[in-house]
Structure 1
Amino acid sequence: MEKKDTIRIKILPVMFGFFIMGFVDIIGIAINYVKQDFIFLNDTLANMLAMSCFFWFLVLSIPTGMLMNKIGRKRTVLLSFVLQVIAFCIPIISYDFIMVMIAFAVVGIGNTLLQVALNPLVTDVVQKGKLTGTLTLGQFVKAVCSFLGPIITSWASGMAFGWKLIFPVYAVTSLIALVWLWLTPIEESKKGETVSFRMTFKLFNDTYIVAFFIGILVLVGVDVGMNTTFPKLLMERCGLELNEAGLGNSVYFFARTLGALGGGIFLLKYSETKFFTFSVLLAAIGLVGMLMTGNLWAMLACVVIFGLGYANLFAIIFSLSLKRVSDRANEVSALLIMGVSGGALLPPLLGVVSDKFGTQMAALLVIAIVWLYMVWLIGKVKGINSK
């Protein structure tokens, strides 16, 4: 009983780290509010905010793995919390487009450190057999944060400080996470071989790791693209105001929250392969449905279907990768988190496409086409489990 209590004490601040990780998802609705605040912005320029945030996952993931090897996983996570506090204080001090770009760049840097270090840190507080379920639970906690973000933003938009009230709220919450984890003793596993660019990229010799890396690129790109596009789609096709359309993202994240919660249960009964296949195809149905309807309730129902399908895919891919190369967890984590840079690649393209064709349906069609990669990945996931 004492051992279980000790594990519970250690896992709680780590799970709260997943909540802080969800702060990055506010960028989807933030882009829409920033575009509204600065009238010189079009979709192409506004969506560059996503690039300023997610670009850092590409350039800093491996250096973060190297840093993590030197100072440890817990200290790397603590450093990420410090950066998050700083980032959310910037727009409070000065609010203009450049400062918002800088703020989200620092958010991206902090979130890069967090995502690279937090998943391996989970392996230090749970048994290997419970890794997939714990990572799925972590995605559930992250989804709760993502769900609450648009609701708080919509509520804050009617206050004196406006939607920007989200920044001090997130800064204080990040500070709480910093102190909580700092006061929690965690014994980390012994360091393995030193993380390096050469050894990390050597993982690309494994075709499964390559496929999973691209899968992360697609997943995050589609997720950020959906966060950015869906409110504008509701405004365009259903005539909603931004504070109302922004709640569409909360519907999406609520579906992901339910999906992540249910995923932890279903993964105890069904294989990762079957659940992955079901999830990818369910999400595809949701995307096709959104392309075919302009009715508000039908579109909300379709984004729920998509969210339920999407909810557990990141955790499954991450878990399969860590299990495949379990002796190089730091490198695997660093490499896969590089894939989060997909959030910097797809949204600018969606902005260009929507500006060119004058409709958000063009952007949604691009998202659906990109999702075909996940359908192809089903075969790869089946292959890894058949060996």
Structure 2
Amino acid sequence: MNNKINKLALASVMLCFFAMGFVDLVGIASNYVKSDLGLNDATANIFPSLVFFWFLIFSVPTGVLMNKIGRKKTVLLSLVVTVVSLLLPLFGESFGLMLVSFSLLGIGNALMQTSLNPLVATVVRGGHLASTLTFGQFVKAIASFMAPYIAAWGATQAIPSFGLGWRVLFPIYMIVGIAASLFLLSTPIEEEGPAFAGETSPTVGKQFAACFRLLGKPIVLLSFIGIMCHVGIDVGTNTTAPKILMERLGMTLNDAAFATSLYFIFRTLGCLTGSFFLRVVNNRLFFVISITMMALSMCGLFFGTTKLVLYIAIALVGYGNSNVFSLVFAQALQSVPDKQNEVSGLMIMGLFGGTVFPLIMGFASDAMGQAGAVLVMAVGVAYLFTYIKNVK
């Protein structure tokens, strides 16, 4: 019976990982909003930056919230916020409305990423945490690479009565989000209880202070920066790859949208194979191979002028970056086992890198073309090389 419950719990959690992938629609969506509203790169990049800005604000409070209401209830709250964010674009695509929608999408995702990863540690008791998190990232990536296809289909072939165009993406994902909410709500998951971190401190203020003090531990701080770089490269590639194809090959946006899908196809492939390799291959060796692939990708994206070279470069960064989050997150989570909620909040706060990188990349690309954006991502890859020594 327990085995059945565990499998059911794992299935419900994995559907939540699929809902977590909705946040990656912001890359292709920002390109369509840019085209529809006639925005420049710096302004259009506000959208992905805004989504990930909320990770800075909400991640640590979510870690404290989990101590009060538990992990499952926090994930359910995140799903409700996500569903509301996907509802708003059905009423139009004005600049203000899309800002509110993307903000709620970011807030929901901050809540979800902070609470869902520790919930996996609750469901998967024992070893294989990194490989299970990687499999979750594989499920998340399925939603990520489907988004550009659905948006392109909506822009060119959507049923006219919908009147949504590329925005048909939002109601489709909203229905899945509702299903994920109902599935998780009806699935029994045993937690230690809302007071499992009660010994941290009696007041919220002291819990915040104790949480941020964890950054004093070198492995936690270095992992935090590593997550910032991983997400910056992820969001940066998601947003910039189509622009590179349009700039150098003269593609239309609908054709160039394939670049985002290609990235997520290889990221999905990387997560799927990574969940196996992380069980049988030395984690540090696999991390070195991944970062080397990303470095080669940066060279291809910077110098490449043919479709073949650019597609190979996009595939390399997709595969290389696919397991970085799981490896870094697992290192941090296991380094302070008695403060997993707090560490999770700090690590997810590192997703703020998804705000920092696109903003800087937007200014760099306006100044010197998309090669400038690639240089910004290359800085993140360089840092990840320095993190290798921390992977056990």
- Fold shared by both chains (TM-score > 0.5): yes
Question: How many Å separate the matches in 2 of 1:333 and 1:127?
Answer: 17
Conserved 8 A contact 2:56-2:352: yes
Query: CA–CA distance in 2 between the matches of 1:257 and 1:379?
Result: 26
Instruction: Give ranges in structure 2 of 5+ residues lacking alignment.
Output: none
Task: Choose the corresponding residue for 2:138, options 122, 137, 140.
Answer: 140
Corresponding residue for residue 250 of structure 1: 261
1:149 alignment partner AA: A
Q: Work out whether residues 146 and 261 of structure 2, in 8 Å CA contact, stay in contact via their aligned partners in 1.
A: yes
Output the amino acid matched with 2:383: Y
- More displaced stretch, 210-219 vs 123-132: 123-132
Q: Which runs of 5+ in 1 are unaligned?
A: none
1:353 partnered with 2:353: no
For structure 1, which segment, 101-110 or 124-133, has the greater mean C-alpha deviation from structure 2 after superposition?
124-133
Q: SS of the residue aligned with 2:128?
A: helix
Q: 2:375, 2:121 → 1: CA distance?
A: 38
Q: Deviation of residue 308 (structure 1)?
A: 1.0
CA contact 2:301–2:371 (8 Å) conserved in 1: no
Residue number among 201, 205, 208 corresponding to 1:197 in the alignment: 208
Give the superposition deviation at 1:323: 1.0
Which residue number in structure 1 is paired with residue 242 of structure 2? 231
Q: Residue 287 of structure 1: CA displacement?
A: 1.5
CA offsets, 1:299-322, max 9 Å, x none?
111111111111101001111111
Correspondence for 2:377 = 367
Residue 23 of structure 1 and its aligned partner are, at CA, apart by: 0.6
* Superposition deviation, residue 25 in structure 1: 0.6
> Residue type of the partner of 1:49?
F
Kindly state the Cα deviation for residue 127 of structure 1 after the two structures are TM-superposed. Answer: 2.0
Which residue of the partner structure matches residue 213 of structure 1? Answer: 224
Alignment size in residue pairs: 379
CA distance in 1, matches of 2:114, 2:282: 26
CA distance in 2, matches of 1:155, 1:199: 48
| Counterpart amino acid of residue 215 in structure 1 | G
| 2:343 pairs with one of 285, 307, 332 | 332
What residue in structure 1 maps to residue 124 of structure 2? 126
Moved more, 370-379 or 206-215: 370-379
The answer for the alignment partner of 1:83 in structure 2 is 81
AA matched with 1:228? T
* 1:17 maps onto 2:20 in alignment: no
C-alpha RMSD of matched pairs (Å): 1.2
Q: CA deviation at 1:6?
A: 2.1
Q: Tell me the distance in 2 between the aligned counterparts of 1:295 and 1:95.
A: 34
Q: Deviations over 1:202-232 (max 9, x none)?
A: 1112111110000001111111111111101
What residue identity is the alignment partner of 1:38?
L
Give the Cα–Cα distance (whole angstroms) in 2 for the partners of residues 287 and 273 of structure 1.
21
Look up the SS of the partner of 1:311 in the other structure. coil
Q: Which whole-Å CA distance do the structure 1 matches of 2:51 and 2:318 have between them?
A: 23
Distance 2:231 2:12 in 1: 25
Pairing 1:26-45 to 2, within 5 Å after superposition? 26-39=25-38, 41-45=39-43
CA distance in 2, matches of 1:104, 1:271: 39
The structure 2 residue matched to 1:303, chosen from 314, 321, 327, is 314
Q: Tell me the distance in 2 between the aligned counterparts of 1:95 and 1:289.
A: 35
TM-score by length of 2: 0.94
* Cα deviation digits, residues 123-163 of structure 1 (max 9, x gap): 11112212111111101111111111111111111123210
TM-score by length of 1: 0.96
2:63 is matched with: 65
CA shift for structure 1 position 32: 0.6
Partner residue of 1:154 out of 141, 152, 155 = 152
CA distance in 1, matches of 2:390, 2:6: 35
Deviates more, 1:192-201 or 1:205-214: 192-201
Partners of 2:174 and 2:239 lie apart in 1 by 23
Q: Which residue of the other structure, out of 167, 174, 192, is the alignment partner of 2:177?
A: 174
Find the residue that maps to 2:122 and give its secondary structure. Answer: coil
2:375 corresponds to which letter in structure 1?
L
Check the 8 A contact 2:128/2:279 in 1, yes or no.
no
For 1:171 and 1:267, the matched residues in 2 are separated by 33
The whole-number CA distance in structure 2 between the counterparts of 1:128 and 1:321 is 16
Identity of aligned residues (%): 43
Q: Name the structure 1 match of 2:355.
A: 344
Name the aligned partner's letter for residue 150 of structure 1.
P
State the alpha-carbon separation in 2 of the partners of residues 343 and 198 from structure 1: 25
Q: For residues 281-304 of structure 1, what are the alpha-carbon distances to aligned partners after superposition, in whole Å with 9 as ceiling and x for unaligned?
A: 111112212222111122111111
TM superposition shift of 1:369 = 2.6
The 2-side partners of 1:315 and 1:150 are apart by 24
Structure 1 residue 168: deviation in Å? Answer: 0.8
Letter in 1 for 2:308: W
Deviation at 1:95, TM superposition (A): 2.2
Please give the alpha-carbon distance, in whole angstroms, between the structure 1 residues aligned to 2:100 and 2:267.
29
- Give matches, 1:238-277, under 5 Å: 238-277=249-288
Rounded to whole Å, the distance in 2 between the matches of 1:284 and 1:166 is 33
Mean alpha-carbon deviation: is it higher for 114-123 or for 48-57? 48-57
Counterpart residue type for residue 378 of structure 1: I
* Further displaced range: 104-113 or 363-372: 363-372
Q: Is the 8 A contact 2:230 2:325 kept in 1?
A: yes
Q: Would you say 1:188 and 2:214 are equivalent positions?
A: no
Distance 2:255 2:146 in 1: 14
Offset at 1:5? 2.2
